[in-house]
Amino acid sequence: MDIRNVKYFLAVADTGSITKAAKVLHLSQPPLSTAMSKLESELGVQLFERMPRGIALTPAGRYLQAAGRRLIAEEQRLSSALRSMGKGLEGELRLGAEILGLWSIISGKIAEFLTENPRVALDLMDAHPQVQLDHLANGHLDLALVPVIPEEPPAPIHSVAFETDVIARLPMVVIVPSTWGEANCERIELAELRDQTWILPAPLGNARSLSRLLDDRFALAGGRPSNVLSVQSIQTAARLVAAGVGVAVASAELADHHPDVSAVPIKDGLFELPLGLVRRKSGIVTPVAERFAELLRSGPDGDLRTLPDDTED
């Protein structure tokens, strides 16, 4: 399969029209139509439904659209890796990091890495863990640092499996508005806070680690709170807590540095949240990404452990 024809196919799929794709590609329409017919013939499957106006993708076409994007990303990654060899470490590091990881270890590690490797360009995504895993599967990220739990390693996305190393465990605390005052922030049972409004990140797809650990801890305290406000991130939760909306959980470090919130000591503690360094199980790993992964694994806070893979090769 000619990689050029895959690029042509993606242009047609994205624009929904061979005519529009030809303009984007600076080609005339007949050669592009011929290339698409040749691609269908080589693969032995129909990729398009020809409509009166434009085209629609068949199920095979939708699959090739997703897989083709990963293929192009891998081709670009391979070219970048080969160009960097023999020139010293240079290139791009495309990294995803959830906000807790940025607070705890990633920021310092990034500074150390870029100081040692000034010819490396960083592209950092601080998005929701599920978004990071989607971008990792599609080849738009090299590595992602997201909360994980050993019992539920990230499941494959679009047939792309993952490898995960636990590199740190973050102590978690309950945070409340600082207006509660010290008298209300003495060591208490978690069950005493069940009637409060809890502001918690919503569990999405592969990103269930925090909610799973919270549910387990709430079960020991008599059950999950009935009044829960779902948000996209702990950072958002902390801001709402500061405004007096309710209570939430955060890393001890984030709580120490966030204005207008206080950490409440919980009897018997809360839990530790494992952070995992996630990469695709198969695919190109650039020298830049590999070097940064080694730096993370060697950190003093690391508790390195590879999570079990729940898929077969």
Cα separations in angstroms, 48 against 24, 170, 270: 19, 49, 54
Give me the pLDDT at residue 305, please.
44
How many domains would you assign to the chain?
Answer: 3
What ranges make up the beta strands (E) of the chain? Answer: 48-50, 55-57, 91-97, 120-125, 143-147, 162-177, 198-201, 228-231, 248-251, 261-264, 272-280, 305-306
Q: Is residue 311 part of a domain?
A: no
Q: d(Cα 143, Cα 173) in Å, to the nearest integer?
A: 27
Q: Is residue 45 part of a domain?
A: yes
Final residue of a domain: which of 27, 47, 81? 81
Place of tokens 């120490």: 256
Q: Is residue 258 part of a domain?
A: yes
Same domain, 176 and 255: yes
Q: d(Cα 83, Cα 53) in Å, to the nearest integer?
A: 43
Same domain, 157 and 199: no
- HSE-up of 177 (CA within 13 Å, CB side)? 12
Which three-class secondary structure state does DSSP give residue 218?
Answer: helix
Q: d(Cα 199, Cα 299) in Å, to the nearest integer?
A: 32
Q: d(Cα 17, Cα 111) in Å, to the nearest integer?
A: 45
Give me the pLDDT at residue 292, please.
93
Q: Which domain holds residue 45?
A: 3-81
Q: Is residue 237 part of a domain?
A: yes
**Which residue type sits at 104?**
S
- The CATH number of the domain where 161 resides is what? 3.40.190.10
Final residue of a domain: which of 29, 63, 81? 81
Same domain, 178 and 246: yes
Which three-class secondary structure state does DSSP give residue 134?
Answer: helix
Give me the pLDDT at residue 246, please.
94
Q: d(Cα 277, Cα 251) in Å, to the nearest integer?
A: 18
Same domain, 264 and 252: yes
Give me the pLDDT at residue 95, please.
95
Same domain, 177 and 261: yes
List per-residue pLDDT tens for the chain, 313 residues long: 778 888 888 998 989 888 888 888 888 888 888 888 888 888 888 998 888 777 889 999 889 988 888 888 877 767 766 665 545 577 889 999 988 777 777 888 999 999 888 888 999 998 888 899 999 998 899 999 998 887 777 889 888 899 999 988 889 999 999 888 654 556 788 998 989 999 988 776 666 678 888 888 989 888 888 899 998 888 889 999 999 999 999 988 888 888 899 998 898 889 898 999 999 987 767 888 998 999 988 865 444 444 444 444 3
- Cβ–Cβ under 8 Å, residues 249 and 200: yes
Same domain, 162 and 189: no
